[in-house]
Structure 1
Amino acid sequence: MVSVLIADDNSVVRAVLRDVFHGAADLTVVAEAANGVEALELAARHRPTVTLLDHRMPLRDGLSVAAAIGAFSRVLMLTRSAEERVVLDAVRAGAHGFLVHGQFAPAELLQAVRAVAGGESHLSPSAARVLVDAVRTAPRPTNHYGLSTREREVMDLIARGLSNADIARTLVLSPKTVENHVNHIFAKLGAADRRAAVSRWTPN
Protein backbone atom coordinates (compact mmCIF):
# COMPACT_ATOMS: atom_id res chain seq x y z
CA MET A 1 0.00 0.00 0.00
CA VAL A 2 1.34 3.43 -0.99
CA SER A 3 0.57 6.06 1.65
CA VAL A 4 0.08 9.67 0.57
CA LEU A 5 0.22 13.02 2.36
CA ILE A 6 -1.59 15.89 0.61
CA ALA A 7 -0.19 19.35 1.35
CA ASP A 8 -2.10 22.26 -0.18
CA ASP A 9 -3.57 25.38 1.42
CA ASN A 10 -6.70 25.15 -0.76
CA SER A 11 -9.30 22.93 0.91
CA VAL A 12 -11.14 22.41 -2.41
CA VAL A 13 -7.96 21.11 -4.06
CA ARG A 14 -7.37 18.76 -1.13
CA ALA A 15 -10.93 17.43 -1.43
CA VAL A 16 -10.57 16.83 -5.18
CA LEU A 17 -7.28 15.02 -4.70
CA ARG A 18 -8.74 12.93 -1.90
CA ASP A 19 -11.55 11.84 -4.24
CA VAL A 20 -9.04 10.85 -6.94
CA PHE A 21 -7.25 8.53 -4.54
CA HIS A 22 -10.48 7.11 -3.13
CA GLY A 23 -10.91 4.73 -6.07
CA ALA A 24 -7.33 3.42 -6.06
CA ALA A 25 -7.02 0.19 -4.09
CA ASP A 26 -3.21 0.48 -3.74
CA LEU A 27 -3.11 4.14 -2.64
CA THR A 28 -4.33 5.67 0.61
CA VAL A 29 -4.33 9.24 1.92
CA VAL A 30 -3.00 9.19 5.50
CA ALA A 31 -3.02 12.93 6.24
CA GLU A 32 -3.65 16.41 4.86
CA ALA A 33 -1.77 19.64 5.53
CA ALA A 34 -2.80 23.25 4.87
CA ASN A 35 0.65 24.86 5.23
CA GLY A 36 4.35 24.02 5.04
CA VAL A 37 4.89 23.72 8.78
CA GLU A 38 2.01 21.28 9.14
CA ALA A 39 3.24 19.33 6.09
CA LEU A 40 6.65 18.81 7.66
CA GLU A 41 5.16 17.80 11.02
CA LEU A 42 2.76 15.30 9.42
CA ALA A 43 5.47 13.87 7.17
CA ALA A 44 7.66 13.23 10.21
CA ARG A 45 4.73 11.66 12.08
CA HIS A 46 3.24 9.47 9.34
CA ARG A 47 6.29 8.92 7.07
CA PRO A 48 4.11 8.65 3.95
CA THR A 49 5.48 6.97 0.86
CA VAL A 50 4.75 10.09 -1.22
CA THR A 51 3.99 13.69 -0.26
CA LEU A 52 2.05 15.84 -2.74
CA LEU A 53 3.44 19.29 -2.05
CA ASP A 54 2.19 22.66 -3.27
CA HIS A 55 4.90 25.31 -3.43
CA ARG A 56 2.77 28.31 -2.37
CA MET A 57 1.49 27.81 1.18
CA PRO A 58 1.26 29.88 4.39
CA LEU A 59 3.83 29.87 7.20
CA ARG A 60 6.41 28.01 5.09
CA ASP A 61 6.15 27.39 1.36
CA GLY A 62 6.60 23.97 -0.17
CA LEU A 63 10.05 24.66 -1.59
CA SER A 64 11.40 25.62 1.83
CA VAL A 65 10.32 22.30 3.40
CA ALA A 66 10.80 19.93 0.43
CA ALA A 67 14.31 18.86 1.40
CA ALA A 68 13.33 18.28 5.05
CA ILE A 69 10.23 16.30 4.05
CA GLY A 70 12.50 14.25 1.77
CA ALA A 71 14.00 12.66 4.86
CA PHE A 72 10.65 11.00 5.56
CA SER A 73 8.91 10.74 2.20
CA ARG A 74 9.37 11.05 -1.56
CA VAL A 75 8.22 14.47 -2.71
CA LEU A 76 5.99 15.07 -5.73
CA MET A 77 5.45 18.78 -6.32
CA LEU A 78 1.86 19.47 -7.35
CA THR A 79 1.38 23.14 -8.12
CA ARG A 80 0.12 25.72 -10.59
CA SER A 81 3.49 27.16 -11.52
CA ALA A 82 6.02 25.91 -14.05
CA GLU A 83 8.35 28.89 -13.57
CA GLU A 84 11.98 27.99 -14.14
CA ARG A 85 13.01 28.97 -10.63
CA VAL A 86 10.27 26.88 -9.02
CA VAL A 87 10.98 23.77 -11.10
CA LEU A 88 14.77 23.93 -10.67
CA ASP A 89 14.57 24.73 -6.94
CA ALA A 90 12.21 21.80 -6.44
CA VAL A 91 14.54 19.38 -8.25
CA ARG A 92 17.54 20.72 -6.33
CA ALA A 93 15.60 20.21 -3.09
CA GLY A 94 15.17 16.55 -3.98
CA ALA A 95 11.67 16.43 -5.47
CA HIS A 96 11.14 13.22 -7.45
CA GLY A 97 8.40 14.67 -9.62
CA PHE A 98 6.72 17.90 -10.68
CA LEU A 99 3.11 18.08 -11.86
CA VAL A 100 1.40 21.28 -12.99
CA HIS A 101 -2.34 21.68 -12.43
CA GLY A 102 -4.20 21.66 -15.72
CA GLN A 103 -1.56 19.50 -17.42
CA PHE A 104 -2.61 16.09 -16.14
CA ALA A 105 -5.68 13.91 -15.81
CA PRO A 106 -6.56 11.96 -12.65
CA ALA A 107 -5.13 8.77 -14.16
CA GLU A 108 -1.77 10.47 -14.76
CA LEU A 109 -1.70 11.72 -11.18
CA LEU A 110 -2.14 8.16 -9.94
CA GLN A 111 0.53 6.97 -12.37
CA ALA A 112 2.91 9.71 -11.17
CA VAL A 113 2.40 8.80 -7.50
CA ARG A 114 3.06 5.13 -8.22
CA ALA A 115 6.17 6.03 -10.24
CA VAL A 116 7.56 8.28 -7.51
CA ALA A 117 6.75 5.66 -4.87
CA GLY A 118 8.79 3.18 -6.92
CA GLY A 119 11.82 5.46 -7.08
CA GLU A 120 11.18 6.91 -10.54
CA SER A 121 10.49 10.50 -11.57
CA HIS A 122 7.50 12.08 -13.29
CA LEU A 123 7.31 15.55 -14.86
CA SER A 124 4.59 17.55 -16.55
CA PRO A 125 5.60 18.62 -20.09
CA SER A 126 6.23 22.26 -19.11
CA ALA A 127 8.42 21.21 -16.18
CA ALA A 128 10.34 18.80 -18.42
CA ARG A 129 11.00 21.62 -20.90
CA VAL A 130 12.36 23.83 -18.15
CA LEU A 131 14.70 21.08 -17.01
CA VAL A 132 15.93 20.31 -20.53
CA ASP A 133 16.52 24.01 -21.27
CA ALA A 134 18.47 24.38 -18.04
CA VAL A 135 20.62 21.36 -18.85
CA ARG A 136 21.34 22.58 -22.38
CA THR A 137 22.36 26.07 -21.27
CA ALA A 138 24.29 25.09 -18.13
CA PRO A 139 28.10 25.17 -18.19
CA ARG A 140 29.49 21.71 -18.82
CA PRO A 141 32.74 20.18 -17.63
CA THR A 142 35.67 21.11 -19.87
CA ASN A 143 36.51 17.42 -20.15
CA HIS A 144 33.60 15.71 -21.92
CA TYR A 145 35.21 12.26 -21.60
CA GLY A 146 34.45 11.62 -25.27
CA LEU A 147 30.68 11.78 -24.73
CA SER A 148 28.52 12.74 -27.71
CA THR A 149 26.16 15.70 -27.51
CA ARG A 150 23.22 13.38 -26.78
CA GLU A 151 25.21 11.43 -24.19
CA ARG A 152 26.10 14.70 -22.45
CA GLU A 153 22.39 15.63 -22.33
CA VAL A 154 21.58 12.23 -20.82
CA MET A 155 24.43 12.51 -18.32
CA ASP A 156 23.31 15.99 -17.24
CA LEU A 157 19.84 14.60 -16.53
CA ILE A 158 21.34 11.67 -14.62
CA ALA A 159 23.25 14.20 -12.53
CA ARG A 160 19.92 15.90 -11.74
CA GLY A 161 18.56 12.63 -10.36
CA LEU A 162 16.26 11.55 -13.19
CA SER A 163 15.61 7.87 -13.80
CA ASN A 164 16.05 6.23 -17.21
CA ALA A 165 12.27 6.25 -17.71
CA ASP A 166 11.99 9.94 -16.99
CA ILE A 167 14.99 10.74 -19.22
CA ALA A 168 13.22 8.86 -22.02
CA ARG A 169 10.07 10.94 -21.54
CA THR A 170 12.00 14.21 -21.22
CA LEU A 171 14.17 13.74 -24.32
CA VAL A 172 11.45 11.87 -26.27
CA LEU A 173 13.56 8.73 -26.66
CA SER A 174 12.71 5.06 -26.27
CA PRO A 175 13.68 3.44 -22.93
CA LYS A 176 16.03 1.09 -24.81
CA THR A 177 17.83 4.01 -26.46
CA VAL A 178 18.31 5.68 -23.09
CA GLU A 179 19.60 2.42 -21.62
CA ASN A 180 22.14 2.16 -24.45
CA HIS A 181 23.26 5.76 -23.90
CA VAL A 182 23.67 5.14 -20.17
CA ASN A 183 25.77 2.02 -20.77
CA HIS A 184 28.02 3.93 -23.20
CA ILE A 185 28.32 6.82 -20.74
CA PHE A 186 29.34 4.53 -17.87
CA ALA A 187 31.95 2.87 -20.10
CA LYS A 188 33.43 6.20 -21.21
CA LEU A 189 33.50 7.59 -17.67
CA GLY A 190 34.85 4.35 -16.23
CA ALA A 191 31.96 4.33 -13.77
CA ALA A 192 30.26 1.26 -12.33
CA ASP A 193 27.02 2.99 -11.34
CA ARG A 194 25.12 6.29 -11.38
CA ARG A 195 26.71 7.60 -8.20
CA ALA A 196 30.21 7.09 -9.59
CA ALA A 197 29.24 8.62 -12.93
CA VAL A 198 27.77 11.73 -11.29
CA SER A 199 30.85 12.09 -9.07
CA ARG A 200 33.14 12.04 -12.08
CA TRP A 201 30.92 14.22 -14.28
CA THR A 202 30.04 16.97 -11.80
CA PRO A 203 32.75 19.62 -11.35
CA ASN A 204 34.13 19.97 -7.84
Structure 2
Amino acid sequence: MLHAVKRILLQGASPLASAGLAHALRDMPGWVIGGGEAEAGDRAWAEADVVILFARSAEEAVSLCGKLRPGQPAVLLISAGLPILARRSINAGRAIALLSERAGAAQLRAAVDAVTQGLNVSDPALDEDPRGSGEEVRVPVADSLSAREREVFELVGKGMTNADIGRILGISPNTAKFHVAQILSKLGAASRAEAVHVGLRLGLIGF
Protein backbone atom coordinates (compact mmCIF):
# COMPACT_ATOMS: atom_id res chain seq x y z
CA MET A 1 0.00 0.00 0.00
CA LEU A 2 1.40 3.39 -0.99
CA HIS A 3 1.37 6.24 1.52
CA ALA A 4 1.28 9.90 0.55
CA VAL A 5 4.61 11.64 0.91
CA LYS A 6 4.60 14.52 3.37
CA ARG A 7 6.76 17.59 2.91
CA ILE A 8 8.77 19.49 5.51
CA LEU A 9 10.02 22.95 4.54
CA LEU A 10 13.02 24.44 6.38
CA GLN A 11 13.25 28.23 6.47
CA GLY A 12 15.43 30.84 8.13
CA ALA A 13 18.33 28.59 9.12
CA SER A 14 21.96 28.85 8.06
CA PRO A 15 23.35 26.12 5.75
CA LEU A 16 24.97 24.41 8.75
CA ALA A 17 21.80 24.56 10.83
CA SER A 18 19.71 23.34 7.89
CA ALA A 19 22.02 20.37 7.44
CA GLY A 20 21.71 19.60 11.15
CA LEU A 21 17.91 19.79 11.03
CA ALA A 22 17.76 17.57 7.97
CA HIS A 23 20.04 15.06 9.70
CA ALA A 24 17.84 15.07 12.81
CA LEU A 25 14.76 14.30 10.72
CA ARG A 26 16.35 11.72 8.44
CA ASP A 27 14.77 8.74 10.23
CA MET A 28 11.18 9.89 9.68
CA PRO A 29 9.81 7.62 6.92
CA GLY A 30 7.46 9.15 4.38
CA TRP A 31 8.77 12.70 4.79
CA VAL A 32 10.62 14.76 2.19
CA ILE A 33 12.70 17.66 3.50
CA GLY A 34 13.28 20.77 1.41
CA GLY A 35 14.28 24.39 1.75
CA GLY A 36 17.22 25.66 3.74
CA GLU A 37 18.85 29.04 3.88
CA ALA A 38 17.48 30.20 0.52
CA GLU A 39 14.09 31.90 0.56
CA ALA A 40 11.48 29.44 -0.66
CA GLY A 41 8.88 30.44 -3.22
CA ASP A 42 5.16 30.71 -2.58
CA ARG A 43 4.57 27.25 -4.05
CA ALA A 44 7.01 25.58 -1.64
CA TRP A 45 5.33 27.26 1.32
CA ALA A 46 1.86 26.29 0.07
CA GLU A 47 2.77 22.63 -0.56
CA ALA A 48 4.56 22.05 2.76
CA ASP A 49 2.71 19.86 5.26
CA VAL A 50 4.90 21.23 8.07
CA VAL A 51 7.18 24.27 8.04
CA ILE A 52 10.19 24.39 10.37
CA LEU A 53 11.21 27.98 11.02
CA PHE A 54 14.41 29.26 12.59
CA ALA A 55 14.16 32.72 14.14
CA ARG A 56 16.73 34.78 16.02
CA SER A 57 14.22 37.12 17.67
CA ALA A 58 10.53 37.41 18.53
CA GLU A 59 10.12 39.97 15.73
CA GLU A 60 11.61 37.59 13.16
CA ALA A 61 9.44 34.76 14.49
CA VAL A 62 6.26 36.79 13.99
CA SER A 63 7.39 37.81 10.50
CA LEU A 64 8.15 34.24 9.42
CA CYS A 65 4.91 32.86 10.87
CA GLY A 66 3.04 35.53 8.93
CA LYS A 67 4.01 33.67 5.74
CA LEU A 68 2.26 30.47 6.81
CA ARG A 69 -1.03 29.64 5.16
CA PRO A 70 -4.09 29.56 7.48
CA GLY A 71 -3.96 26.47 9.68
CA GLN A 72 -0.55 25.34 8.39
CA PRO A 73 1.33 23.39 11.10
CA ALA A 74 4.76 24.70 12.03
CA VAL A 75 7.71 24.14 14.33
CA LEU A 76 9.45 27.32 15.44
CA LEU A 77 13.04 27.12 16.67
CA ILE A 78 14.07 30.31 18.43
CA SER A 79 16.98 31.48 20.56
CA ALA A 80 15.15 34.15 22.57
CA GLY A 81 12.17 34.32 24.91
CA LEU A 82 8.74 35.05 23.43
CA PRO A 83 6.56 37.84 24.88
CA ILE A 84 2.87 37.06 25.37
CA LEU A 85 1.75 39.27 22.47
CA ALA A 86 4.20 37.57 20.10
CA ARG A 87 2.94 34.15 21.20
CA ARG A 88 -0.66 35.15 20.53
CA SER A 89 0.22 36.29 17.03
CA ILE A 90 2.24 33.15 16.30
CA ASN A 91 -0.31 30.70 17.73
CA ALA A 92 -3.33 32.20 15.99
CA GLY A 93 -5.38 29.49 14.29
CA ARG A 94 -2.69 26.85 13.82
CA ALA A 95 -0.94 23.93 15.48
CA ILE A 96 2.57 25.03 16.38
CA ALA A 97 5.51 23.81 18.43
CA LEU A 98 7.74 26.42 20.05
CA LEU A 99 11.19 24.99 20.76
CA SER A 100 14.59 26.26 21.74
CA GLU A 101 17.17 26.35 18.95
CA ARG A 102 19.06 23.78 21.04
CA ALA A 103 16.26 21.19 20.77
CA GLY A 104 17.54 17.67 20.17
CA ALA A 105 16.59 15.28 17.39
CA ALA A 106 14.03 13.40 19.51
CA GLN A 107 12.37 16.66 20.55
CA LEU A 108 12.25 17.86 16.96
CA ARG A 109 10.71 14.64 15.66
CA ALA A 110 8.16 14.63 18.50
CA ALA A 111 7.28 18.24 17.70
CA VAL A 112 6.68 17.46 14.01
CA ASP A 113 4.50 14.52 15.02
CA ALA A 114 2.57 16.69 17.48
CA VAL A 115 1.73 19.53 15.10
CA THR A 116 0.61 17.13 12.37
CA GLN A 117 -1.92 15.85 14.90
CA GLY A 118 -3.14 19.37 15.58
CA LEU A 119 -1.39 19.75 18.95
CA ASN A 120 0.40 22.78 20.36
CA VAL A 121 3.56 22.31 22.43
CA SER A 122 5.94 24.83 23.94
CA ASP A 123 9.32 24.70 25.65
CA PRO A 124 8.96 26.36 29.09
CA ALA A 125 12.47 27.78 28.65
CA LEU A 126 11.05 30.20 26.08
CA ASP A 127 8.69 31.85 28.58
CA GLU A 128 9.73 35.46 28.97
CA ASP A 129 9.95 36.95 32.45
CA PRO A 130 6.48 38.49 33.09
CA ARG A 131 8.14 41.24 35.13
CA GLY A 132 9.62 42.57 31.91
CA SER A 133 13.30 41.94 32.59
CA GLY A 134 13.62 40.10 29.29
CA GLU A 135 15.30 37.15 31.00
CA GLU A 136 14.09 33.66 30.26
CA VAL A 137 12.29 31.78 32.99
CA ARG A 138 12.60 28.00 33.13
CA VAL A 139 9.45 26.50 34.60
CA PRO A 140 10.44 23.55 36.81
CA VAL A 141 7.83 21.16 35.39
CA ALA A 142 9.82 18.05 36.30
CA ASP A 143 10.12 19.12 39.94
CA SER A 144 6.39 19.83 40.15
CA LEU A 145 5.40 16.21 39.45
CA SER A 146 5.18 13.96 42.49
CA ALA A 147 6.71 10.48 42.53
CA ARG A 148 3.26 8.94 42.07
CA GLU A 149 2.44 11.31 39.21
CA ARG A 150 5.66 10.28 37.49
CA GLU A 151 4.65 6.62 37.79
CA VAL A 152 1.23 7.40 36.37
CA PHE A 153 2.72 9.53 33.59
CA GLU A 154 5.00 6.69 32.45
CA LEU A 155 1.95 4.44 32.10
CA VAL A 156 -0.01 7.16 30.30
CA GLY A 157 2.90 7.35 27.86
CA LYS A 158 2.46 3.62 27.20
CA GLY A 159 -1.18 4.13 26.29
CA MET A 160 -2.65 2.75 29.51
CA THR A 161 -6.22 3.60 30.50
CA ASN A 162 -7.18 4.76 33.99
CA ALA A 163 -8.36 1.22 34.74
CA ASP A 164 -5.02 -0.21 33.55
CA ILE A 165 -3.08 2.30 35.63
CA GLY A 166 -5.18 1.55 38.70
CA ARG A 167 -4.64 -2.19 38.35
CA ILE A 168 -0.87 -1.88 37.88
CA LEU A 169 -0.31 0.61 40.71
CA GLY A 170 -2.90 -0.81 43.08
CA ILE A 171 -5.09 2.30 43.12
CA SER A 172 -8.66 2.92 42.03
CA PRO A 173 -9.48 4.12 38.50
CA ASN A 174 -10.85 7.33 40.01
CA THR A 175 -7.56 7.96 41.82
CA ALA A 176 -5.69 7.29 38.58
CA LYS A 177 -8.02 9.73 36.82
CA PHE A 178 -7.24 12.36 39.45
CA HIS A 179 -3.48 11.91 38.98
CA VAL A 180 -3.84 12.18 35.19
CA ALA A 181 -5.84 15.40 35.58
CA GLN A 182 -3.12 16.81 37.85
CA ILE A 183 -0.42 15.91 35.32
CA LEU A 184 -2.30 17.57 32.46
CA SER A 185 -2.83 20.68 34.58
CA LYS A 186 0.84 20.96 35.55
CA LEU A 187 1.97 20.48 31.95
CA GLY A 188 -0.62 22.87 30.57
CA ALA A 189 -1.87 20.10 28.26
CA ALA A 190 -5.43 19.78 26.98
CA SER A 191 -5.29 16.03 26.38
CA ARG A 192 -3.31 12.89 27.17
CA ALA A 193 -1.76 12.94 23.70
CA GLU A 194 -0.55 16.51 24.16
CA ALA A 195 0.81 15.67 27.63
CA VAL A 196 2.75 12.72 26.22
CA HIS A 197 4.31 14.88 23.51
CA VAL A 198 5.32 17.46 26.11
CA GLY A 199 6.65 14.73 28.40
CA LEU A 200 8.76 13.22 25.62
CA ARG A 201 10.13 16.60 24.66
CA LEU A 202 11.08 17.48 28.24
CA GLY A 203 12.47 14.04 29.00
CA LEU A 204 9.86 13.33 31.69
CA ILE A 205 8.93 9.99 30.11
CA GLY A 206 10.71 7.63 27.74
CA PHE A 207 9.78 6.34 24.31
2:62 is matched with 63
Q: How does 1:3-14 map to 2 (within 5 A)?
A: 3-14=7-18
Larger helix proportion of the pair:
1
Evaluate the alpha carbon distance shift between residue 86 and residue 33 of structure 1 in structure 2; reply closer, same or farther with a 3 A threshold: farther
TM-score, with structure 2 as normaliser: 0.52
Q: Give the superposition deviation at 1:91.
A: 2.3
In structure 2, the gaps of 5 or more residues are: 132-180, 196-207
Identity %: 15
Residues 7-66 of structure 1 show CA distances to partners (whole Å, capped at 9, x for unaligned) of 12311000001111112224331x21426x53655212xx11110012249xx9442241
Residues 90-126 of structure 1 show CA distances to partners (whole Å, capped at 9, x for unaligned) of 2248461211122x32111101001101111121122
Evaluate the alpha carbon distance shift between residue 61 and residue 40 of structure 1 in structure 2; reply closer, same or farther with a 3 A threshold: farther
**Alpha-carbon distance in structure 2 between the residues aligned to 1:14 and 1:6:** 7
Root-mean-square deviation (CA, aligned residues, Å) is 3.8
SS at match of 2:75: strand
Tell me, yes or no, if structure 1 residue 113 matches structure 2 residue 115.
Answer: no
Evaluate the alpha carbon distance shift between residue 171 and residue 69 of structure 1 in structure 2; reply closer, same or farther with a 3 A threshold: closer
TM-score, with structure 1 as normaliser: 0.53
Would you say the 8 A contact 1:66–1:94 is kept in 2?
A: no
In structure 1, the gaps of 5 or more residues are: 135-163, 179-204
User: What is the one-letter code of the residue matched to 1:112?
Assistant: A
Would you say the 8 A contact 1:40–1:69 is kept in 2?
A: no
User: What is the one-letter code of the residue matched to 2:119?
Assistant: E
Evaluate the alpha carbon distance shift between residue 169 and residue 49 of structure 1 in structure 2; reply closer, same or farther with a 3 A threshold: farther
Q: How does 1:53-202 map to 2 (within 5 A)?
A: 53-56=53-56, 61-71=60-70, 73-84=72-83, 86-92=86-92, 94=94, 96-102=96-102, 104-127=103-126, 129-130=127-128, 168=185, 170-171=187-188, 175=192
User: What is the one-letter code of the residue matched to 2:35?
Assistant: E
